[in-house]
Structure 1
Amino acid sequence: MSRPPLGATLEDGLNRRLVPFLRKRGWRPTTITYTGYGSPEKLRVLARALLTEDTGRTAADAGATEHELDEAQEAERGWRSFVTTPVAHLPIEVEIAGRTYPTRADRDGYLDLLVPDHGLTPGWHDVAVRAQGAAPATARVLVIGPETRFAVVSDIDDTVMVTRVPRPLVAAWNTFLRHTSSRQAVPGMAELFGHVQETRPGTPVLYLSTGAWNVVPALERFFRRTGLPSGPMLMTDWGPTNSGWFRSGQEHKRMSLRRLLIDFPEITWLLVGDDGQHDPDIYSELAREHPDRVRAIAIRELSAGEHVLSHGTPQAMDGGRASTDGGRIVQDEQVPVVRAPDGFELWRRLEPYLTSS
């Protein structure tokens, strides 16, 4: 058997020593739940087991409303989301529709449980997640019904939220130092998704990002504050893996998109991203391979200044290919591509393709 790389070995060793030390100082397991998704045939439940300091009294215990909790948490610096200690292999029970499914967290504390024949009807549901030694938690899940034929998958960074993530120093400032409430929404993106859902009622929106799972609670608050629709978020872990020091963000997106195509074989997708990273190439690749599964591609164009801050040059990473309205990915003109600097103009260019049969 091959040995895990040095990065994963060091991380595991640090956690093994840190967990008992923090437990002696009164830290206790807690469960962070993420929004899951699925079909009537199978459901994906997502969560993470972490050690957190036991303060003995939370804002919820004090009777704070959800809005007051959001305001208190928004005032925190972003780095607090990354000061965490996972609890590896912790026993966890998930209860769905009266049935209990025992499982364990993985080496990084993550729970990614696929439940067949779960018994939930299409729509939003709450499922119970009980980790050993932690207070019970509730995970939201979206069951997409068999009648759904159209859905949206969208990037987050610099697509719906201005973060300039590719540039390391700016990313560090936005992620670790700035208050989460200072993050800005890309103009018109909430309106774009609203128009899509009005045009095609019942359209689910899923988010696919190379960002870390740690920031999901902050992103959910950001979405509520800016009017972006709720939806499952498919993030990644920045730490070492069993194959290297860092995970590949591009491969994460490619694999997640292909999994969605497999999980929902009747759905065609609107792919939304930006030209500051690799979204145009990844989306184009998928459209060439599966032109019947991609209804359209919408790319938010960064300004020249944003491109310089993003990756050091004033041009898009794809060289500005298909930068005009009405561009196509494949020769038989099955997949339209639209580009614009904000959500308002993107919708104006997308609308004809989404309202036609």
Structure 2
Amino acid sequence: MPLSDLVRAVTDQFHRDTIPVLKRRGWRPRVIAYDGYGSAAPAGASRRPEGGRAGSGKTPSDMARVLARMVLRPSNAPAEGPLFRSVPEELPTSARDVRDVRDLAAMNLLEAQRGWRLFVDAPVPYLPVTIRVGAAGVRTRADREGYVDVVVRGHGLSPGWHEARIEATGAGTAVTRILVVAPGPRLGVVSDIDDTAMVSHVPRMFVAAWNQLVKYTSSREPVPGMAELLTRAQRAHPGAPVIYLSTGAWNVVPTHRSFFERHGFPSGPMLMTDWGPTNTGLFRSGIEHKRTGLRRLMIDLPDVVWLLVGDDGQHDPLIYSEVVREHSDRVAAVAIRRLTPAQHVLAGAQLVHPMGVGPASRTLAEANVPFVVGADGYELARMLPPGLLAGPEDE
């Protein structure tokens, strides 16, 4: 028996043994919902009547991808979610005071949530789930690790952020957000997270454990200018979706979400991965996760042309060059952040060709797609084509 199969069998048996024990201790199923994305139907497009069967007509052109995980948590465990929404925007103070109050609230909540106890959970496999998005709904089950990744069609929602309801047996109802992208040609942004949007002073091999066991964001800093770059792209192209595609684990999404809010990054779905064993190995392939994620975005949102943002610490140049080679008409530009030697060490990067010499760089340079390399978001913004970042106020 392959080692990966043995590990999966041991993991499944461990979950089967521990779930009854945790339930006797008062742990209950909980829905951990993640932001999703979707598309809106063009004006005049036909829709499936509510309650109609999938085979009774054309497939609706509007869709929503809903992401969540079913886990067991102690009954007194705090809910996951953004840190700053509890701070009223109408506080009669200056903008600086509001920011200080938000920062203080964030620090206090992070301090309260510190510790491994809040992050030790057990997945609830195969839990029945009902998902409702707009006028549509589907019934499904979580997979063996408790994850739900389902497409709902015929929701009938307009472009923008909307709520989706996830009802799980024994866990009640959770509400998540879906970013519905308008039909028609438009710009979108795909950004990596680690070493692209944020830099950690902890080696990458320990980042997941650090976030899971400690959950302090003080060890992480935003890449200078990166929040501004992504915000300018979205402001210059109203309705442009910003998608964060990372090889990080799903359980760090609350930490990333809080970090992004605190440092002014645009709100957007995060497409993460599960680090558990698969049918082919002990760990999921980060490269394949990003390849699959990019291909699916191009299928789900066929009218979007993407600005791809990453770094040279791992495999982003290689992955993006493959996308450019196969779908150059779907890529508006590629922006790669150049890491310092020290950051390369922390990122666990292997020795690679310098940018501009390696085969990935040659592919990007030979394609008719703008390709820029810079030390931070400010430098990348200066080098990108002006039309990508110039809004009405810049003209």
Q: Same fold (TM over 0.5)?
A: yes
Change (3 A) 1:252 1:133: same
Higher mean alpha-carbon deviation, 197-206 vs 243-252, is at 197-206
Matched, 1:279 2:316: yes
Q: The residue matched to 1:136 in structure 2 has which SS?
A: strand
Matched, 1:146 2:146: no
Change (3 A) 1:146 1:182: same
Q: Report the counterpart of residue 353 of structure 2 in structure 1.
A: 319
CA deviation profile, 1:61-107 (whole Å, cap 9, x unmatched): xxx92558744442234755642210011111112225442211111
Q: Distance in 2 between matches of 1:83 and 1:187?
A: 33
Aligned residues: 347
Q: Distance in 2 between matches of 1:303 and 1:311?
A: 12
Name which of 65, 83, 108 aligns with 1:44. 65
Change (3 A) 1:299 1:239: same
Q: Report the counterpart of residue 185 of structure 1 in structure 2.
A: 222
Matched, 1:34 2:70: no
Change (3 A) 1:103 1:72: farther
Conservation of the 8 A alpha-carbon contact between 1:130 and 1:136: yes
Q: Distance in 2 between matches of 1:234 and 1:170?
A: 17
Matched, 1:343 2:377: yes
Conservation of the 8 A alpha-carbon contact between 1:77 and 1:179: yes
Q: The residue matched to 2:132 in structure 1 has which SS?
A: strand
Which sections of structure 2, spanning at least 5 residues, go unmatched?
41-61, 88-101, 391-395
User: What's the offset of the Cα at 1:113?
Assistant: 1.1
Conservation of the 8 A alpha-carbon contact between 1:47 and 1:110: yes
Change (3 A) 1:190 1:183: same
Change (3 A) 1:3 1:23: same
Change (3 A) 1:182 1:168: closer
Q: Distance in 2 between matches of 1:353 and 1:320?
A: 28
Higher mean alpha-carbon deviation, 210-219 vs 78-87, is at 78-87
Q: The residue matched to 1:126 in structure 2 has which SS?
A: strand
Change (3 A) 1:166 1:338: farther
Name which of 291, 316, 319 aligns with 2:328. 291
Name which of 122, 131, 138 aligns with 2:159. 122
Conservation of the 8 A alpha-carbon contact between 2:308 and 2:333: yes
User: What's the offset of the Cα at 1:273?
Assistant: 0.3
Q: The residue matched to 2:257 in structure 1 has which SS?
A: helix
Q: Distance in 2 between matches of 1:168 and 1:59?
A: 24
Over aligned residue pairs, what C-alpha RMSD do you find? 2.9
Conservation of the 8 A alpha-carbon contact between 1:7 and 1:241: no
CA deviation profile, 1:181-224 (whole Å, cap 9, x unmatched): 44211111111112212322221100100000001111111111
How does 1:40-189 map onto structure 2 within 5 Å? 40=40, 41-55=62-76, 65=86, 70-75=106-111, 76-77=113-114, 79=116, 82-163=119-200, 167-169=204-206, 172-173=209-210, 176-177=213-214, 179-189=216-226
TM-score norm. by structure 2 comes to 0.80
User: What's the offset of the Cα at 1:329?
Assistant: 3.7
Q: Distance in 2 between matches of 1:228 and 1:27?
A: 35
How does 1:161-240 map onto structure 2 within 5 Å? 161-163=198-200, 167-169=204-206, 172-173=209-210, 176-177=213-214, 179-240=216-277
User: What's the offset of the Cα at 1:21?
Assistant: 0.4
Q: Report the counterpart of residue 14 of structure 1 in structure 2.
A: 14
Q: Report the counterpart of residue 57 of structure 2 in structure 1.
A: none
Change (3 A) 1:270 1:57: closer
The residue identity in structure 2 corresponding to 1:339 is: V
The residue identity in structure 2 corresponding to 1:45 is: V
Q: The residue matched to 1:292 in structure 2 has which SS?
A: helix
Q: Distance in 1 between matches of 2:114 and 2:371?
A: 38
The residue identity in structure 1 corresponding to 2:32 is: I
Q: Distance in 2 between matches of 1:56 and 1:303?
A: 40
Higher mean alpha-carbon deviation, 161-170 vs 252-261, is at 161-170
Q: Distance in 2 between matches of 1:249 and 1:318?
A: 17
Percentage of pairs with the same residue: 51
Q: Distance in 2 between matches of 1:92 and 1:43?
A: 16
Q: Distance in 1 between matches of 2:77 and 2:123?
A: 20
User: What's the offset of the Cα at 1:173?
Assistant: 4.1
The residue identity in structure 1 corresponding to 2:179 is: L
Conservation of the 8 A alpha-carbon contact between 2:132 and 2:138: yes
TM-score norm. by structure 1 comes to 0.88
Q: Distance in 2 between matches of 1:331 and 1:69?
A: 46
Name which of 338, 350, 353 aligns with 1:301. 338
Which sections of structure 1, spanning at least 5 residues, go unmatched?
none
